[in-house]
Amino acid sequence: MQNSEVFILAIESSCDDTAAAVLHNDKVLSNVVANQLIHNQYGGVVPELASRAHQQNIVPVIDAALRKANVQKEQLSAIAFTQGPGLMGSLLVGTSFSKSLSIALKIPLIAVNHMHAHILAHFIEEEGFDKPEFPFLALTISGGHTQIVKVKGFFDMEIIGETTDDAVGEAFDKSAKILGLPYPGGPLIDKYANLGNPKAFTFTKPKVPGLDFSFSGLKTAILYFIQKNKLENPNFIEENLNDICASIQHTIIEILMDKLKLAVKETGITQIAIGGGVSANSGIRTRLKESEGRYGWKTFIPKFEYTTDNAAMIGIVGYQKYLSNRFETSAVVSKARIQF
Ligand code: KG4
Ligand code: ZN
């Protein structure tokens, strides 16, 4: 039974973004994210600095989310927070804050798996965005994960393929680093790729059995390719940046699409939903949309602000858990690794 007056405050602090959102049932009233720019100068997330920044940001971010939503703390029905997976020091900040606030406000506490949230972000009520029907396949692609998940229900999911080494976001970021681009390099590769020829250079695709992925070989291949070409022409990167980015992105998209096609063949499921930071990639979005006509798939691409790490996606899982009374006691703990 749907309770029509559910207000969820959601808190996400698994990595380097401090985020808070307020949902009224399945509608997002506010979605605030504080990015931690401090990591850019180190070429990757520094866990110690991330947890400190979360401590600084968490109160203003939650305050901003409540004010933007025009919701008083006393109106909240429950607090949902990211339990894991993620960086332990970062998770602890959101978990401890959520516990304290739930005790202070005497409202239930809901623990959310970050990866479930990337998948269930598709169930946020948004004009112009359809929701998938169960069962569907979810491709979750982020800086920490690359998974194909068979989603049979809100709380019934099965990983049918995943990376055996680097995540696809890491493949983008590490390739970008080889090219001398700042962190996070994924969005920059996307930007330059749009101006280049995807067939200019060829990188061998890894041979991984079944639905699993591997990206570490690609990174090494790109490193050797750049080193070799720079020996012949020290300006090789500068002179070919767009083509190199387009070729790298093309190879990564091919790897993802090959496995998706196999997953569809093996499961017979043709509804495909993507989630995770890398699903912001314009090339992936275009290829998926094309697959509707080409293979008869129905694809679901979330609104941009719900693809990268955000708290609205934590809130929608919180709402579903609220409806089915899946609450935690204050003994709940953060989990850097978490059972799917
Ligand atoms: O989901 P997310 O925000 O954080 C994690 O949970 O990891 O994903 C971040 C990842 C980074 O690796 C970033 O480079 C990548 O998503 N990313 C992109 C794009 N936007 C973000 N990769 C390729 N193209 C993009 N447009
Ligand atoms: Zn994420």
Domain ranges of the chain: 7-122+307-323, 131-301
Q: Which residues pair with 319 in a beta bridge?
A: none
User: Residue 4: what pLDDT?
Assistant: 79
267 to 130, 149, 152, 171, 258: CA distances (angstroms): 22, 11, 12, 27, 14
User: Residue 36: what pLDDT?
Assistant: 74
User: Residue 282 has which token pair?
Assistant: 């314009």
Residue 281 marked ligand-binding: yes
CB 117 within 8 A of CB 317: yes
User: Residue 91: what pLDDT?
Assistant: 97
Best residue among 16, 82, 172, 190 to mutate for probing ligand 1's pocket (most ligand atoms within 8 Å of CB) is 172
Atom of ligand 1 nearest to the CA of 86: 6
d(CA 256, CA 248): 13
Q: Order across the sheet with 7-12: list the strands.
A: 27-35, 17-24, 7-12, 78-84, 109-113
Q: Helix, strand, coil shares of the chain as percentages rounded to 5?
A: 45, 20, 35
CATH architecture assigned to 131-301: 2-Layer Sandwich (3.30)
Say yes or no: CB of residue 12 within 6 Å of ligand 1: no
d(CA 17, CA 331): 25
Decide if 7-122+307-323 and 131-301 have a common fold: yes
Identify the segments of the chain with pLDDT beneath 50: 1
CB 207 within 8 A of CB 156: no
Of all ligands present, the nearest one to the C-alpha of 249 is: 1
* Four-CA torsion 118, 269, 167, 80, nearest 10 degrees: 20
d(CA 21, CA 288): 29
Residue 130 marked ligand-binding: no
SS3 137: strand
CATH architecture assigned to 7-122+307-323: 2-Layer Sandwich (3.30)
CB 275 within 8 A of CB 122: yes
pTM equals 0.92
Best residue among 87, 142, 288, 313 to mutate for probing ligand 1's pocket (most ligand atoms within 8 Å of CB) is 142
User: Residue 93 has which token pair?
Assistant: 């900040």
**236-267 and 168-178 are packed helices; what angle lies between their axes, rounded to 10 degrees?**
170
First-to-final CA distance of the chain: 26
User: Residue 2: what pLDDT?
Assistant: 53
Write the pLDDT tens digit of every residue in 110-126.
999 999 999 999 999 99
- Nearest Cα residue to atom 2 of ligand 1: 277
Write the pLDDT tens digit of every residue in 131-141.
999 999 999 99
CB 121 within 8 A of CB 316: yes
